[in-house]
Amino acid sequence: MATIPSSSSFLLFLTIAILINFFLHTHSTTHWQDVQVLKQLKSTINPSLIPQSSCIDSWDFSLDPCDNIFKDKFTCGFRCDVVVDSLSRVTELALDSPGYSGSLSSVSFNLPYLQNLDLSNNNFTGSLPGSLSLLIRLNRLGFSRNSLSGPVPDSVGSLLTLQELYLDNNMLTGEIPLSFNGLKNLKRLEIQGNGFGGGFPELTQLGNLNFLDASDNGFSGGLPENLPPSLIELVMRNNQLEGNIPVGVLGLSSLQVVDLSHNKLNGSVPAGLFAHPSLEQLTLSYNQFGWVQVPADSGLSSQLISVDLSNNEIRGFLPGFMGLMPRLSALALENNKFSGLIPTQYIVKVSDSGTGMGMAQFERLLLGGNYLYGPIPGQFLDLKPDSITVRLGDNCLYRCPLRLFFCEGGVQKSLMECRAFGPIIP
Ligand SMILES: *[C@@H]1O[C@H](CO)[C@@H](O)[C@H](O)[C@H]1NC(C)=O
Ligand SMILES: *[C@@H]1O[C@H](CO)[C@@H](O)[C@H](O)[C@H]1NC(C)=O
């Protein structure tokens, strides 16, 4: 009699052991720490701004997140990977964007396996939490288009594995910390559309940075003498930058796009930009540049496709060498103080005759708002408005009747105004 209960309890034990084993091998449980962070994130979001059937709405913590992901509960918003045995870690946290609102400043981002954090296009507020530095495996951080404010904590610079950082279009302020030099693997940095100010730091340690957009902020002082040497796109439109373009910029040998428009840069546009081995797009409009330097090889080696120097204070004759740049098809020199005749090199490049030797034709040639004089070149009279955009309005040209499409955009200046600018204007 006594042996029966003992053997049945042994059987019961065996059954439970098998069941537990079964459970462990078909189910993955989320590491408790990661559950805490998900719960914390959900609880910080204003419940009235969690629409039905949004990701966050489906997060039901009576169940295990990773074990129920993509089912009725936890329908979206994150990804898990089994790390050891059947223990799951959150490796991606990428929310939908129905306009979640709530402060991120008290969320503790203790997710050591997270590779991608994307909360873009919502209305998250508060300052960036220092706990972001706990994301030791993070590749991509996307906080674009929210309402985050305050300064960027120094600790963000400790994210050694980070490759892409998007803080654009928030209300962040203060300076970019020098600690950013610690982001050794960063390839893309987007901080445009914030209230950042002060001098832009020398980020020379970012040996992998290809893309920098710091537009629409309040950065002041000069451009840094030294920029990340791997830069392909340098975009710092609409800031308060002043002074000259430093020599260091010309040494960035991989550059393809430079946009420094809407600043207060002055001095001359350096020749090195027109002899650069890879630069394709140069936009320096709305600055205070006074001169254009002529490169030693007259631009023959230039890779530039588009040059925009409009709305500066550039004097002298039009830079004829730009008509020799083999790939250039868009040239904007409007609203400067250029004088003289329209150069032959430009005339050749607007007409088919110049395209024989692999030379690109102009598709856009904007010269309005200067003090150009002389007659309209005869070749221009054959141009068709649907094949090219040319603007010659508001100059000192000898007759530019508005019925010619390229004369539109402002009648020619009065003889008095033209003579007052340059007595030699005929
Ligand atoms: C953020 O909130 C503002 C008003 O507070 C609203 O107009 C806007 O649409 C919201 N943005 C998103 C992405 O939901
Ligand atoms: C350029 O601007 C700087 C600072 O704004 C000023 O000190 C300098 O005189 C200016 N140079 C020229 C050539 O206008």
Query: pLDDT per residue over 32-52, tens digit each?
Result: 999 999 999 999 999 998 999
Testing ligand 2's pocket by substitution, the residue of 266, 269, 291, 293 carrying the most ligand atoms inside 8 A of its CB is: 266
Nearest CA to ligand 2 atom 9: 243
**Alpha-carbon distances of 166 from 50, 193, 276, rounded to whole Å:** 24, 11, 29
Nearest CA to ligand 2 atom 3: 243
Query: pLDDT per residue over 250-271, tens digit each?
Result: 999 999 999 999 999 999 999 9
For residue 99, report the distance from its CA to the centre of ligand 1, in Å. 6
User: Residue 354: which pLDDT band, with cuts at 50, 70 and 90?
Assistant: low
Testing ligand 1's pocket by substitution, the residue of 97, 123, 145 carrying the most ligand atoms inside 8 A of its CB is: 123
Query: pLDDT per residue over 359-396, tens digit each?
Result: 899 999 999 999 999 999 999 999 999 999 999 999 99
Q: Look at residue 410 in the predicted model and tell me its pLDDT.
A: 87
Instruction: State if residue 243 touches ligand 2 by the CB under 6 angstroms criterion.
Output: yes
Q: What is the number of the ligand closest to the CA of 267?
A: 2
Predicted confidence (pLDDT) at residue 2 exceeds the cutoff of 50: no
Q: Look at residue 84 in the predicted model and tell me its pLDDT.
A: 82
CB atoms within 10 A of CB 182: 18
pTM of the model: 0.90
Query: pLDDT per residue over 114-152, tens digit each?
Result: 999 999 999 999 999 999 999 999 999 999 999 999 999
Tell which atom from ligand 2 comes closest to the C-alpha of 242: 5
Query: pLDDT per residue over 170-185, tens digit each?
Result: 999 999 999 999 999 9
Tell which atom from ligand 1 comes closest to the C-alpha of 98: 14
Q: Look at residue 402 in the predicted model and tell me its pLDDT.
A: 87
Q: What is the number of the ligand closest to the CA of 313?
A: 2
For residue 226, report the distance from its CA to the centre of ligand 2, in Å. 20
Nearest CA to ligand 1 atom 3: 123
Query: pLDDT per residue over 49-61, tens digit each?
Result: 899 999 999 999 9
Tell which atom from ligand 1 comes closest to the C-alpha of 121: 13
Q: Look at residue 422 in the predicted model and tell me its pLDDT.
A: 81
Nearest to 80 by CA among 131, 25, 141, 31: 31
**Percent of residues, the chain, with pLDDT higher than 90:** 84
For residue 122, report the distance from its CA to the centre of ligand 1, in Å. 7
Instruction: State if residue 120 touches ligand 1 by the CB under 6 angstroms criterion.
Output: no
**Percent of residues, the chain, with pLDDT higher than 70:** 92
Instruction: State if residue 123 touches ligand 1 by the CB under 6 angstroms criterion.
Output: yes
Domains contained in the chain, CATH given? 92-421 (3.80.10.10)
Tell which atom from ligand 1 comes closest to the C-alpha of 123: 1
Instruction: State if residue 169 touches ligand 1 by the CB under 6 angstroms criterion.
Output: no
Q: Look at residue 4 in the predicted model and tell me its pLDDT.
A: 46
Q: Look at residue 9 in the predicted model and tell me its pLDDT.
A: 65
Predicted confidence (pLDDT) at residue 16 exceeds the cutoff of 80: no
Tell which atom from ligand 1 comes closest to the C-alpha of 122: 13
Predicted confidence (pLDDT) at residue 218 exceeds the cutoff of 80: yes
For residue 93, report the distance from its CA to the centre of ligand 1, in Å. 21
Q: What is the number of the ligand closest to the CA of 288?
A: 2
Nearest CA to ligand 2 atom 7: 243
Q: What is the number of the ligand closest to the CA of 97?
A: 1
Q: Label each residue of the chain as H, E or C.
A: CCHHHHHHHHHHHHHHHHHHHHHHHHCCEECHHHHHHHHHHHHHCCHHHCCCCCCHHHCCCCCCCCCCCCCCCCCCCEEEEEEECCEEEEEEEECCCCCCEEECCCCCCCCCCCCEEECCCCEEECCCCHHHHHCCCCCEEECCCCCCEECCCHHHHHCCCCCEEECCCCEEEECCCHHHHHCCCCCEEECCCCEEEEECCCCCCCCCCCEEECCCCEEEECCCCCCCCCCCEEECCCCEEEECCCHHHHCCCCCCEEECCCCEEEEEECHHHHCCCCCCEEECCCCEEEEECCCCCCCCCCCCCEEECCCCCCEEECCHHHHHCCCCCEEECCCCEEEECCCHHHHHHHCHHHHHHCCCCCCEEECCCCEEEECCCHHHHHCCCCCCEEECCCCEECCCCCCCHHHCCCCCCCHHHHHHHCCCCC
Mean pLDDT of the chain: 92
User: Residue 1: which pLDDT band, with cuts at 50, 70 and 90?
Assistant: very low
Instruction: State if residue 375 touches ligand 2 by the CB under 6 angstroms criterion.
Output: no
Q: What is the number of the ligand closest to the CA of 49?
A: 1
Predicted confidence (pLDDT) at residue 22 exceeds the cutoff of 70: no
